[in-house]
């Protein structure tokens, strides 16, 4: 159970809380879409409407890492185990209801597209990337199956420290897409960047890359790189010398897609990494193209300057996702 004092802080941040450990929040891009502006890169690249994208967490604030670049409130981390495990159907029902409460203010706004508002009340995409590490929740496969039953798609964004949980999904129920965050090219930088509490974290991470490779043809698979430059000093994960190491990790994982993103100094990340660590879009794209040059079978499939992200994809790979 989330302690009451932390619940209060999360509610002030406009989190909707569900059960013992789950949460939902309306992201900036959903709000933009409802107000007539464009959506995020997932809409542009994959065809998923931002108004229907539900950013959620089955175990908010539970994570093994304390990543320097994370904009979530990791200072409130509740450990890496759940003392109570809620039913996945009850979580999803609660997430949808809490999201509706958070969306209600948009319904009375004449400037809001009414069609998009209705779309937002019944999400077409559940993205497990809000806060915490989703694979800590032991009934994740059941949740993905239930999402599919509801005619929606699901994205899992993971730190890759639970390869056993990823392997279990093969039989328990896979999401539409699995993304492994890959923010450090070698063990030394990995330990400094992620500040993991898990033993043999680098080994576990590499095991997850192997699992992702073995899931070829079973699920859409992606690697996400979030790049931060050295700025006024300190750590950077986008040195030229790191490029061959990233290429090696990507080849090991054999993903369908590679998302190369620029670090944003927002939220709680501002206390750890300032604006000087934010790369310009041109710097991100140039770095992505250098990584691409070492991959061979991939191509530049998309870019979104506003979101500071570049998409690399296997040649001929279908980008758009069909909502069933």
pLDDT at residue 75, rounded to an integer: 76
pLDDT of residue 233: 67
Structural domain contains residue 319:
no
Domain total of the chain: 1
Q: What angle do CA 60, 64, 65 make, to 5 degrees?
A: 95
What's the pLDDT score for residue 39? Answer: 84
Helix (H, G, I), strand (E, B) or coil at 110: coil
Q: Which two tokens stand for residue 48?
A: 């998923």
At 110 the pLDDT is 82
Tokens of 166: 């990823």
Rounded Cα gap, residues 108 and 23, in angstroms:
24
Instruction: Centre a 10 Å sphere on the Cβ of residue 235 and count the other Cβ atoms it contains.
Output: 17
Q: Quickly count: other Cβ atoms within 10 Å of residue 141's Cβ.
A: 19
Task: Determine the pLDDT at residue 83.
Answer: 86
Q: What is the pLDDT along the chain (324 residues), one digit of tens a residue?
A: 788 889 999 999 899 999 999 999 998 889 888 888 888 899 999 998 899 999 999 999 899 988 888 877 777 777 888 889 999 999 999 999 999 999 888 888 888 888 888 888 999 999 999 989 999 999 999 999 999 999 999 999 999 999 999 999 999 999 999 999 999 999 999 999 899 999 999 999 999 999 999 999 899 999 999 999 987 667 899 999 999 999 999 999 999 999 999 988 877 777 788 888 999 999 999 999 999 999 989 999 999 999 999 999 999 999 999 875
| 29-58 burial code (b ≥16 CB/10 A, e <16) | bbbbbbeeeebbbbbbbbebbbbbbbbbbb
Q: pTM of the entire structure? A: 0.94
Handedness of CA 297, 317, 309, 144 (dihedral sign): negative
- In-domain check, residue 122: yes
At 295 the three-state DSSP class reads coil
Burial class (CB in 10 A: 0-12, 13-18, 19+), 60: buried
Q: Answer whether residue 290 is part of any domain.
A: yes
Indicate whether 258 belongs to any domain: yes
Q: List 224's β-bridge partners, or say none.
A: 181, 259
Q: Which two tokens stand for residue 111?
A: 């400037």
pLDDT of 213 reads 97
* pLDDT attached to residue 36: 81
Give the per-residue pLDDT at 94: 97
Measured CA to CA, the distance from residue 308 to residue 228 in angstroms comes to 12
Q: Is residue 323 part of a domain?
A: no
Q: Which of 295, 234, 239, 286 is nearest to 260 (CA)?
A: 286
**CATH classification at residue 36:** 3.20.20.70
Whether 81 maps to a domain, the answer reads: yes
Per-residue confidence (pLDDT) for residue 249, from 0 to 100: 98
Does 237 reside within a domain?
Answer: yes
- 3-class SS of residue 260: strand
How would DSSP label each residue in 195-248? ---STTHHHHHHHHHHHHHHTTTTSEEEEEEEE---TTSS--S--GGGHHHHHH
C-alpha distances out from residue 264 to 165, 190, 227, 277, Å: 29, 19, 9, 8
Q: Is residue 177 part of a domain?
A: yes
Question: What is the DSSP secondary-structure string of 61-106?
Answer: T--S---TT--S-GGG---S--SS---HHHHHHHHHHHHHHHHHHH
Residues spanned by the domain of 230: 4-314
Phi, psi angles (nearest 5°) of residue 221: -130, 140
Instruction: Count how many residues are written for the chain.
Output: 324
Predicted local confidence at residue 73, as pLDDT: 74
């Amino acid at each position: 159970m989330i302690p009451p004092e932390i619940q209060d802080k999360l509610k002030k941040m406009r989190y909707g809380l569900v059960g013992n450990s789950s949460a939902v929040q309306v992201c900036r891009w959903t709000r933009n879409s409802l107000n007539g502006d464009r959506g995020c890169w997932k809409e542009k690249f994959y065809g998923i409407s931002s108004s229907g994208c539900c950013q959620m967490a089955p175990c908010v604030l539970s994570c093994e890492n304390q990543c320097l670049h994370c904009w979530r409130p990791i200072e409130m981390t509740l450990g890496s185990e759940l003392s109570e495990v809620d039913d996945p159907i009850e979580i999803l029902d609660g997430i949808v209801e809490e999201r509706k409460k958070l969306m209600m203010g948009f319904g009375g706004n004449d400037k809001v597209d009414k069609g998009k508002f209705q779309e937002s009340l019944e999400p077409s995409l559940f993205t497990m990337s809000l806060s915490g590490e989703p694979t800590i929740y032991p009934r994740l496969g059941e949740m993905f199956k239930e999402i599919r039953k509801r005619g929606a798609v699901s994205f899992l964004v993971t730190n890759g420290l639970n390869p056993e949980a990823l392997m279990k999904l093969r039989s328990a129920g896979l999401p539409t897409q699995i993304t492994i965050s890959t923010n450090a090219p070698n063990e030394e930088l990995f330990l400094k960047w992620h500040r993991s509490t898990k033993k043999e974290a680098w080994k576990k991470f590499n095991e997850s890359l192997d699992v992702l490779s073995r899931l070829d043809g079973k699920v859409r698979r992606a690697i996400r790189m979030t790049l931060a430059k050295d700025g006024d000093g300190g750590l950077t994960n986008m040195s030229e010398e790191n490029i061959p190491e990233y290429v090696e990790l990507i080849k090991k994982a054999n993903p369908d897609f590679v998302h190369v993103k620029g670090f944003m100094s927002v939220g709680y990340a501002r206390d750890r990494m300032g604006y000087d660590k934010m790369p310009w879009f041109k710097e991100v794209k140039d770095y992505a193209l250098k990584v691409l040059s070492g991959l061979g079978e991939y191509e530049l499939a998309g870019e979104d300057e506003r979101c500071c992200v570049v998409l690399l994809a296997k040649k001929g790979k279908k980008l758009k996702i069909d909502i069933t």
